[in-house]
């Protein structure tokens, strides 16, 4: 597990801009597929030899679904986001706006940060050149934090910021995850709102109620991975403490810890998103689905508590779930009742099959013959009076099937044709449920 560093600060100080700047050089393959350009909230950063997860709290809405009136108070909402980020993080980058100067909201946010006792560094953003540095940072010294001026938008002092952030992470000196030598097998992460039935499903799969205690209040370990064997194969549920955590807290803001959820997802082969059939797809589920889709995470949607819906209505319910997932039609939906043990037996084999598909490696010969067949069947449409011309395709060495198409001009490939290519390749290569990434590169 990598250290988590959270960007915290009030809205509009430039957290997202910084996030994108700090992440930029770290990503090997960019999703240059049209339509996948939106901001991410969570990403792996690499600065020389140092790796960490960077979290941007700017784009996150974590207000309660059940009591929306609470979220009317904008400031409360911001603090809720910040609180979550601070709680999950190992260290904090506190961002303020040098143009605006110190505001009461900054001071309140800083108070939260300070109370967490976590290491913090402060960035005074929007200092768009060294000539403004002294004047624009002077306000902030009073807060007693190490500070550094930066301009995320214009690049001033960014290399120094990178250097200091790297050093900041190094000095955290976090213990590395101890490898206990246990073979973990296929790793699964359970996601979903409290009470959707995640623990019940885990128990139903493992078949021993004792393996997961519902009260983890006294548990000192923060993250508990549960490894078990089924039909001579090993499996691990990642972070079962995280599964139970929120449900126990008497908190009217019942919510999923999005950051923790995404991090666990990344550590796993397959993610299982559990949704209570009687509640349907809520806002947080939607956000999670959106993130999982964007991150190309292999996942299964489990529609649980099917026993609570009359049998003649289950198809209708399933259709509603399919509609929610129409942008990612490959994601399987499984109807279960953890209580009655229905549908549970499908989950592990399905996860296995999904992982196998992720591990598919296809030779260049087959890929290029497939490409020719697909092009013959339907040529790419003309864009700006030019027709994209494809030269060849290769599979990149990535955890999910990733096909890199080399063409004369990747900007000519529109999303509809990208989807066509993806679907055709899926069919020809037999990739039914795993995510597939198609990437276009211009080569001359
Ligand atoms: P967030 O809400 O904290 O994530 O802030 P954003 O990253 O969305 O930035 C808010 C606004 O500040 C946007 O209009 C940015 O273009 C602008 N901004 C961000 N960084 C800088 C900077 O370094 N200098 C200036 N002048 N504007 C910036
Ligand atoms: P978690 O918070 O997502 O881990 O949810 P739990 O597994 O603790 O389940 C929450 C509640 O829903 C408990 O009272 C369970 O007994 C109940 N529950 C879980 N699965 C089912 C199901 O398939 N059918 C019904 N009727 N209740 C269920």
For 410-422, how does the pLDDT look when each residue is reduced to its tens digit (9 = 90+)? 999 999 999 999 9
The CA-atom distances, in angstroms, between 338 and each of 160, 240, 254, 321, 364 are 53, 17, 22, 18, 44
The pLDDT value given to residue 238: 87
For residues 346 and 378, the answer to whether their CB atoms sit within 8 Å is no
Ligand closest in space to the Cα of 81:
1
Q: How far is the CA of 322 from the centre of ligand 2 (A)?
A: 22
pLDDT in tens, 123-165: 999 999 999 998 999 999 998 888 999 999 999 999 999 999 9
Ligand 2 contact, 204 CB (< 6 A): no
Q: What six digits make up the tokens of 272? A: 């299982």
DSSP strands (E only) in 157-276: 186-191, 226-230, 233-237, 270-276
| pLDDT range class, residue 249, cuts 50, 70, 90 | very low
Ligand 2 contact, 149 CB (< 6 A): no
The pLDDT value given to residue 219: 39
Ligand 2 contact, 272 CB (< 6 A): no
The pLDDT value given to residue 80: 64
The pLDDT value given to residue 148: 96
Nearest CA to ligand 1 atom 26: 126
The pLDDT value given to residue 290: 83
Averaged confidence pLDDT in the chain:
83
pLDDT in tens, 290-327: 888 888 899 999 999 999 999 999 999 999 999 989 98
Ligand 1 contact, 21 CB (< 6 A): no
Q: Could you please report the per-residue DSSP string of 59-114?
A: T-----SS-GGGGGSHHHHHHHHHHHHHHH-SEEEEEEETTT---HHHHHHHHHHH
Ligand 1 contact, 81 CB (< 6 A): no
More confident residue, 406 or 218: 406
Q: Is the dihedral of CA 397, 237, 279, 334 positive or negative?
A: positive
| pLDDT range class, residue 78, cuts 50, 70, 90 | low
Work out the number of other CB atoms within 10 angstroms of the CB of residue 305.
Answer: 22
For residues 403 and 425, the answer to whether their CB atoms sit within 8 Å is yes
More confident residue, 78 or 400: 400
The pLDDT value given to residue 374: 95
Ligand 1 contact, 14 CB (< 6 A): yes
Nearest CA to ligand 1 atom 15: 14
From 12, 103, 124, give the residue whose CB has the most ligand 1 atoms within 8 Å, as the site to mutate. 12
From 191, 194, 197, give the residue whose CB has the most ligand 2 atoms within 8 Å, as the site to mutate. 197
Q: Report, as an integer, the average pLDDT of 71-83.
A: 58
250 pLDDT above the threshold of 70: no
The pLDDT value given to residue 108: 81
The pLDDT value given to residue 229: 87
The pLDDT value given to residue 364: 93
The pLDDT value given to residue 81: 63
Q: Is 33 annotated as a binding residue?
A: no
Work out the number of other CB atoms within 10 angstroms of the CB of residue 41.
Answer: 23
Q: Is 432 annotated as a binding residue?
A: no
The pLDDT value given to residue 306: 96
218 pLDDT above the threshold of 70: no
Q: Report, as an integer, the average pLDDT of 427-435.
A: 96
Which residues are CB-neighbours of 76 under 8 A, at least 6 positions away? Answer: 70
The pLDDT value given to residue 222: 55
26 pLDDT above the threshold of 50: no
Ligand closest in space to the Cα of 192:
2
The pLDDT value given to residue 126: 96
Q: Is 17 annotated as a binding residue?
A: no
pLDDT in tens, 373-390: 999 999 999 988 889 999
pLDDT in tens, 337-347: 999 999 999 99
Q: Give the ligand 2 atom nearest the CA of 306.
A: 23
pLDDT in tens, 28-38: 333 333 333 33
Q: Give the ligand 2 atom nearest the CA of 243.
A: 4
Ligand 1 contact, 367 CB (< 6 A): no
Q: Report, as an integer, the average pLDDT of 48-57.
A: 85
The pLDDT value given to residue 331: 97
Q: What six digits make up the tokens of 308? A: 């609570």
The pLDDT value given to residue 264: 82
Q: What is the ipTM of this complex?
A: 0.75
Q: How far is the CA of 82 from the centre of ligand 2 (A)?
A: 30
The pLDDT value given to residue 213: 40
The pLDDT value given to residue 65: 37
| pLDDT range class, residue 208, cuts 50, 70, 90 | low
Q: What six digits make up the tokens of 224? A: 């508990």
Domains of the chain, CATH where assigned:
4-61+78-172 (3.40.50.300), 186-245+257-359 (3.40.50.300), 364-442 (3.30.300.20)
The pLDDT value given to residue 62: 35
Ligand 2 contact, 242 CB (< 6 A): no
Q: How far is the CA of 152 from the centre of ligand 1 (A)?
A: 7
């Amino acid at each position: 597990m990598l250290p988590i560093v959270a960007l915290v600060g009030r809205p509009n100080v430039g957290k997202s801009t910084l996030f994108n700047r700090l992440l930029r050089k770290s990503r090997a393959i960019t999703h240059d597929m049209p339509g996948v350009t939106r901001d991410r909230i969570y990403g792996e950063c690499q600065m020389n030899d140092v790796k960490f997860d960077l979290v941007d709290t700017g784009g996150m809405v974590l207000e309660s679904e059940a009591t929306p009136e609470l979220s009317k108070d904008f400031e409360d909402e911001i603090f809720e986001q910040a609180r979550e980020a601070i709680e999950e993080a190992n260290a904090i980058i506190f961002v303020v706006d040098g143009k605006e100067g110190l505001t009461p909201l900054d001071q309140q946010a800083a108070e939260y940060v300070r109370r967490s006792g976590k290491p913090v560094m402060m960035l005074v953003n929007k200092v768009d050149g060294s000539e403004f540095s002294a004047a624009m940072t002077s306000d902030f010294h009073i807060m007693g934090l190490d500070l550094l001026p930066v301009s995320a938008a214009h690049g001033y002092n960014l290399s120094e910021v990178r250097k200091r952030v790297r050093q900041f992470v190094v000095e955290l000196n976090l213990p590395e995850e101890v490898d206990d030598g246990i073979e973990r097998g296929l790793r699964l992460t359970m996601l979903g709102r409290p009470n959707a039935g995640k623990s019940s499903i885990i128990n139903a799969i493992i078949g021993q109620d004792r393996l997961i205690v519902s009260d983890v209040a006294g548990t000192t370990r923060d993250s508990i991975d549960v490894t078990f064997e089924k039909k001579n194969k090993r499996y691990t549920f990642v972070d079962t403490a995280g599964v139970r955590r929120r449900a126990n807290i008497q908190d009217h803001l019942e919510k999923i810890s999005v950051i923790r959820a995404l991090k666990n997802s990344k550590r796993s082969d397959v993610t299982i998103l559990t949704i209570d059939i009687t509640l349907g797809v809520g806002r947080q589920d939607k956000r999670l689905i959106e993130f999982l889709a964007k991150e190309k995470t292999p996942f299964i949607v489990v529609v649980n508590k099917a026993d609570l819906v009359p049998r003649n209505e289950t198809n209708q319910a399933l259709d509603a779930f399919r509609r929610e997932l129409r942008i990612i039609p490959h994601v399987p939906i499984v109807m279960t009742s953890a209580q009655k043990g229905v549908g549970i037996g499908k989950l592990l084999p399905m996860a296995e099959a999904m992982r196998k598909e992720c591990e598919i490696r296809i030779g260049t010969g087959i890929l290029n013959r497939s490409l020719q067949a697909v092009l013959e069947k339907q040529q790419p449409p003309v864009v700006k009076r030019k027709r994209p011309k494809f030269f060849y395709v290769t599979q990149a060495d990535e955890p999910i099937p990733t096909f890199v198409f080399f063409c004369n001009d990747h900007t000519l490939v529109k999303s509809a044709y990208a989807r066509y290519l993806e679907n055709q390749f899926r069919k020809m290569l037999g990739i039914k449920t795993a995510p597939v990434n198609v990437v276009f590169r211009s080569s001359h």
